[in-house]
């Protein structure tokens, strides 16, 4: 049996990583000419759409005296603070009008900014780029632009004519970002948490062996034929020969889990994120795109039903776990089932170290690794 050395006794630090894109709100909950509140990484945000439908994200605090901007008015172009009526361009936060100024007072209004964040609408969500803490716009500073576009779900063939479905699920989890993420990657909880008569029970536990390889900022469970007790696999087997089905699962910092299943010309692709809301709260968003079951009227509903069930089981588990975590119990990570969780902590530490020193990030994995566990 492997020894539990002190390095294996790890407690999540729940540090929230800045300098990345995060999902903020489902796009269908952000309406034209309305202001919506959201919280990400303990930053209060106000999110809306201009009259052309383009989304924007501002910090939900007026740079004058801190009034939440979501309490103000929005005319489809500028956000007006409800306290003294200062107006800000919704897209870049630049101040347009300060109503109290007289004609002789020559304060340069356009040098003042409300905090503003790059945002993009992608695969059914409004994404927000959260810059390094030191580079926040607001006051007399302009915002920092995102170094790269927001992450997208991978889609295959036929996408130009829109021949795929897209659906999302979202659930709040009362645990820190670290518990949320390691829960997402944990291979050993399946038979205990995700039991259902139509699915599987603990009697189906068997030994598994999976190959992993390092990828930039993360790791990949290499393409393999999925285990016979995974959800989309059972559905896909209705459409393709079992041995033609392959799946790849990637984890990439800060919070992305991509799963791609391909079976001939059919594919199922999902991008799941765990987003830190506060130090003790996170939110899981699963967005899936697929081109199977499109001709079955109940296809998307069936798939949504299966995933909703899974996410609810995870949410309920984390709710109970939060109770256990309240009084700081001693925790441990074991090999091999918790090795992905260890890699996550190592990647996070390596990322922070690279940021601190300015050197290139040192990947914690030297090369491919095979892990074994029973689940």
Residues that bind ligand FES (CB under 6 A): 62, 64-65, 67, 81, 83-84, 86
64 binds, among Fe ion, ligand FES, none (CB under 5 to 8 A by kind): ligand FES
Least distance CB 75 / ligand FES (angstroms): 16
Query: Judged by CB, which is closer to ligand FES: 65, or 372?
Result: 65
Which stretches of the chain bind Fe ion, using CB under 5 A? Answer: 314
Residue 314's binding partner out of ligand FES, Fe ion, none, with CB under 5 to 8 Å set by partner kind: Fe ion
From the list ligand FES, Fe ion, none, pick the one residue 62 interacts with, judged by a Cβ distance below 5 to 8 Å according to partner type. Answer: ligand FES
Region at 117 (left for phi over 0; alpha for psi -120 to 50; beta for the rest): beta
- Dihedral sign of CA atoms 121, 127, 128, 131 in order: negative
CB of 138 to ligand FES, least distance (A): 12
Q: Which residue is nearest to Fe ion (CB)?
A: 314
**Closest distance to ligand FES from the beta carbon of 65 (Å):** 4
Indicate which of ligand FES, Fe ion, none lies near residue 67 (CB less than 5 to 8 Å, by partner kind).
ligand FES
Contact indicator for 114, 138 with CB cutoff of 8 Å = yes
Q: Given the complex with ligand FES, which of 65 and 265 has the nearer CB atom? A: 65
Between 18 and 136, name the residue whose CB sits nearer to ligand FES. Answer: 136
CB of 116 to ligand FES, least distance (A): 15
Nearer to ligand FES by Cβ, of 63 and 218: the residue is 63
Least distance CB 51 / ligand FES (angstroms)? 22
At CB < 8 A and 24+ separation, what contacts does 230-239 make?
A: 231/199, 231/306, 231/307, 231/310, 232/261, 232/268, 233/261, 235/292, 235/293, 235/302, 235/303, 235/306, 236/261, 236/263, 236/266, 236/268, 236/292, 239/263, 239/264, 239/266, 239/292
Helix axes 299-325, 177-185, angle to 10 degrees: 130
Nearest distance from C-beta of residue 301 to Fe ion, angstroms: 21
From the list Fe ion, ligand FES, none, partner contacted by residue 65 (C-beta under 5 to 8 A by kind): ligand FES
Cis peptide before 79, with omega less than 30 degrees from 0? no
Virtual CA dihedral for 114, 15, 30, 161, nearest 10 degrees? 120
């Amino acid at each position: 049996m492997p020894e539990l050395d002190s390095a294996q006794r790890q407690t999540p630090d729940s540090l929230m990583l800045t300098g990345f894109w995060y999902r903020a709100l489902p796009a269908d909950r952000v309406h034209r000419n309305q202001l919506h509140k959201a919280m990400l990484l303990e930053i209060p945000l106000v999110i809306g759409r201009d009259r052309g439908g383009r989304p924007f994200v501002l910090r939900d605090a007026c740079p004058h005296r801190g009034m939440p901007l979501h309490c103000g008015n929005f005319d489809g172009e500028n956000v007006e603070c409800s306290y003294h009526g200062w107006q800000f361009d919704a897209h870049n936060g630049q101040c347009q009008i300060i109503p109290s100024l007289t004609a002789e007072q020559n304060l340069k209004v356009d040098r003042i900014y409300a905090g503003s964040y790059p945002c993009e609408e992608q695969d059914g969500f409004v994404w927000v780029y959260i810059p390094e803490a030191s580079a926040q716009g607001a006051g007399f500073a302009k915002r920092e632009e995102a170094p790269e576009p927001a992450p997208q779900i991978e889609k295959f063939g036929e996408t130009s004519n829109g021949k795929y479905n897209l659906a999302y699920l979202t659930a709040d989890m009362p645990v820190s970002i670290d518990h949320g993420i390691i829960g997402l990657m944990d291979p050993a909880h399946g038979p205990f948490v995700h039991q259902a008569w139509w699915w599987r029970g603990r009697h189906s536990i068997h030994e598994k062996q999976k190959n992993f390889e390092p990828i930039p900022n993360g790791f990949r469970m290499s393409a393999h034929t999925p285990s016979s007790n995974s959800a989309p696999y059972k559905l896909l087997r209705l459409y393709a020969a079992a041995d033609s089905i392959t799946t790849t699962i990637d984890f990439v910092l800060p919070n992305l889990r991509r799963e791609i299943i391909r079976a001939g010309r059919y594919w199922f692709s999902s991008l799941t994120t765990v987003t830190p809301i506060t130090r003790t709260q996170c939110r899981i968003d699963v967005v899936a795109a697929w081109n199977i079951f499109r001709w079955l009227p109940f296809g998307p509903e069936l798939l949504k039903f299966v995933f909703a069930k899974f996410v609810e089981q995870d949410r309920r588990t984390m709710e109970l776990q939060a109770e256990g975590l309240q009084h700081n119990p001693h925790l441990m990570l074991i090999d091999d089932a918790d090795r992905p969780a260890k890699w996550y902590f190592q990647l996070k530490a390596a990322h922070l170290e690279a940021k601190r020193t300015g050197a290139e990030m040192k990947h914690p994995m030297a090369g491919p690794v095979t892990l074994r566990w029973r689940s």
